[in-house]
């Protein structure tokens, strides 16, 4: 079912004390109700403490990444079973930093996505174009390809476990945000792709988040678009007041 979601991607920013302090600040400032699901994605070592510290809150603790492998000799990797054993039910896959810095390609992201879904996880699948692609006018086909390659092998039932996050790479951590019209245009394009491939139900039920310098000042105008169902938030999620102000923009 399509839901509004505001997810904070803490990236490699908070050690355990910082992570626990941020959770404490979030808990202190939480209102009784939000018109969206709230998620935070701490680093792997902080996930279990974060899970325990948020049990009495509506905040879901999610993972920033996972391995496509089941188990075994994969030094440095974290399996889906391991994440589930510490309470994680949702994983971010395909963030542009994973694609660009760690060279995760479409085939690997497709493998991670299907592995996570088959274990019953929800996946926040990230896609988005670089600036030169947008300047060349190829953003729709680039994002379309990313989605097609990772998600079009899934069934409509499996797609119920997928949330898409459109994150134009030129807007991530740059302070430059896609305009509400640019975000809506791409989200509508993605929804049309889902409709053409999976049918009306999937298109209607899939949450599509926007990510890229979402701040309290621009969240409301982004979320007001009919096809923008929330945000994947980096920098602004490291401040409890900013993150909750973004959640409050619904």
What amino acid positions are annotated as catalytic residues?
A: 95, 167
Of 147, 71, 162, give the one whose Cα is nearest residue 116.
Answer: 162
Chain centroid to Cα 67, Å, comes to: 16
Q: Residue 234 interacts with ligand PEP (CB under 6 A)?
A: yes
Q: Residue 6 interacts with ligand PEP (CB under 6 A)?
A: no
Q: Provide the H-helix boundaries in 86-155.
A: 96-100, 106-118, 131-135, 139-151
Minimum distance from CB of 201 to ligand PEP (Å)? 28
Q: Residue 146 interacts with ligand PEP (CB under 6 A)?
A: no
Size of the site for ligand PEP (CB under 6 A): 13
Give the side-chain half-sphere CA count within 13 A for 153.
Answer: 14
Residue from 211, 223, 246, 247 in contact with ligand PEP (CB under 6 A): 211
- Specify the residue, 123 or 203, whose C-beta has the smaller distance to ligand PEP: 123
Task: Return the number of other C-beta atoms located less than 10 Å from residue 221's C-beta.
Answer: 15
- Specify the residue, 230 or 235, whose C-beta has the smaller distance to ligand PEP: 235
Of 183, 136, 180, give the one whose Cα is nearest residue 164.
Answer: 183
- Specify the residue, 42 or 235, whose C-beta has the smaller distance to ligand PEP: 235
Q: Residue 172 interacts with ligand PEP (CB under 6 A)?
A: yes
Helical pair 44-53 and 16-29, crossing angle rounded to 10 deg? 30
- Specify the residue, 137 or 175, whose C-beta has the smaller distance to ligand PEP: 175
Minimum distance from CB of 12 to ligand PEP (Å)? 11
From the number of C-beta atoms within 10 Å of its C-beta (0-12, 13-18, 19+), residue 93 rates as: buried
Which spans of this chain sit near ligand PEP (rule: CB under 6 A)?
9, 167, 172-173, 211-214, 232-236
């Amino acid at each position: 079912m399509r839901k509004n979601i505001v997810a904070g991607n803490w990236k490699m920013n908070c050690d355990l004390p910082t992570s626990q302090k941020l959770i404490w600040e979030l808990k202190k400032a939480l209102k009784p109700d939000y018109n969206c699901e709230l998620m935070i994605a701490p680093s792997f070592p902080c996930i279990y403490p974060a899970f325990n510290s948020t049990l009495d809150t509506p905040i879901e603790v999610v993972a920033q990444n996972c391995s496509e492998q089941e188990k075994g000799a994969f030094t440095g990797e974290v399996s889906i079973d391991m994440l589930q054993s510490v309470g994680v039910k949702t994983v971010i896959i395909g963030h542009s930093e994973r694609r660009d810095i760690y060279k995760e390609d479409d085939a690997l992201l497709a493998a991670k996505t299907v592995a996570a879904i088959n274990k019953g996880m929800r996946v926040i699948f990230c896609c988005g174009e670089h600036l030169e692609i947008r300047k060349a006018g190829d953003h729709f086909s680039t994002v379309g390809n990313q989605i097609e390659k990772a998600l079009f092998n899934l069934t409509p039932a499996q797609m119920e476990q997928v949330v898409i996050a459109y994150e134009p790479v030129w807007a991530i951590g740059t302070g430059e945000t896609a305009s509400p019209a640019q975000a809506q245009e791409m989200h509508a394009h993605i929804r049309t792709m889902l409709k053409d491939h999976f049918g009306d139900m999937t298109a209607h039920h899939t949450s599509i988040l926007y990510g890229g310098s979402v701040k309290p000042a621009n969240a409301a105008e982004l979320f007001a678009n009919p096809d923008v169902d929330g945000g994947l938030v980096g920098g602004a999620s490291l401040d409890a007041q900013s993150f909750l102000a973004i959640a409050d923009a619904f």
